[in-house]
Amino acid sequence: AKARGGSALHFYSQQMFDAFQNRLALEADLKQALLQGQFDLHLQPQIRFSDRRLTGLEALLRWQSPSRGMVPPDEFISVLEYAQLMIPVGYWVIEQSCQILANLQQQGLADLRLAINLSTAQLNDPELPAFLDKMLKLYPQAAGSLEFELTESLLASNIPDTIASMQQLKARGFRLAIDDFGTGYSSLSYLRQMPVDIIKIDKSFVFGMLDNQADFDIITSTIAMVRKLGLEVVAEGVETQAQAKTLQQHACDIGQGYLFSRPIPSNELVSRIQAGLDE
Ligand code: C2E
Ligand code: CA
Ligand code: CA
Ligand code: CA
């Protein structure tokens, strides 16, 4: 038994060593990814329930690695953050999004909004306002069309600094959304002080809403509260007509999910929109 315990320990440290090496290799590959143009944006449509028309898009980062294949963001965003690569990659995302907007406008699709995910490190980046001003000079139309999504967990720490950073974005004409609402700290009291326009209800509640009374109650009361505050409410993860119908009945403004469309590669976006988003 002793010998087995010893080898288990050895195996465990070997596993840790392997994990560490994998992590370093991943970091090295991600540095290359930015230099070699391996990132892409996929755009997921957002549909307004009142007329079932396309109203906006969310930009979602994709990494096509030559050795690893398509790597989902949940596997590399935290590594980007840890390796301090999220800010430069985030700049790339913002510039790319501005180009996509300009291209849409050239194609006569002028009134679509485009939402960009912003991590805490990006929001706190002191260079962000100057970078955005540079982008607005190059792409002046972007101001009224860009939206930034911030996760709810961000509301938990250093509220005055967070509000100041948000106000810098608002001052430039961008809309702000709270993402994954309901999963983080319940900062309902702070919501009032924050210059926020949109609340995105986390998809976990939408998945459960028709089977689980608690999820249903959370969704319907969140919609009512958000609308009472005069903000817009988006439900993410809408996969079925039944969910869409119920959300619409309870006055949810906008839906996003596989029911309407999966995220679309940037080079297919215009043709897919012109084809009415049919697969
Ligand atoms: P998120 O911001 O909550 O984005 C929504 C995620 O839900 C996306 O996953 C999207 O593909 C997925 N989704 C949309 N509709 C449905 C549906 O009907 N069913 C299901 N099961 N899933 C759906 P994705 O693209 O894998 O992104 C994961 C997370 O990575 C995002 O979650 C966001 O937090 C982060 N992320 C993605 N792109 C960026 C980026 O450019 N910058 C930063 N900072 N984070 C990003
Ligand atoms: Ca998001
Ligand atoms: Ca979300
Ligand atoms: Ca999420």
For residue range 218-267, what is the model confidence (pLDDT) as tens digits? Answer: 999 999 999 999 999 999 999 999 999 999 999 999 999 999 999 999 99
Let me know if 63 is exposed, middle or buried by CB neighbors in 10 A (0-12, 13-18, 19+). buried
Report the b/e string of 100-111 with b at 16+ CB within 10 A: bbbebbeeebee
Which segments within 189-249 are labelled E, that is strand?
198-201, 232-236
For residue range 14-67, what is the model confidence (pLDDT) as tens digits? Answer: 888 888 889 899 999 999 999 999 999 999 999 999 999 999 999 999 999 999
Q: Alpha-carbon distance 84 to 105, whole Å?
A: 33
For residue range 123-149, what is the model confidence (pLDDT) as tens digits? Answer: 999 999 999 999 999 999 898 999 999
Output the pTM of the full model. 0.94
Q: What is the number of the ligand 1 atom nearest to the C-alpha of 93?
A: 41
Angle at 191 between CA 179 and CA 52, to 5 degrees: 45
Q: Alpha-carbon distance 56 to 273, whole Å?
A: 11
For ligand 1, residues with CB inside 6 Å are 44, 60-61, 72-74, 77, 93, 117, 119, 179-180, 203, 236-239, 256-258, 263
ipTM (interface pTM): 0.97
Sign of CA dihedral 249, 201, 223, 227: negative
Residue pointed to by tokens 């002191």: 126
| Ion ligand 4 neighbours, Cβ < 5 Å | 180
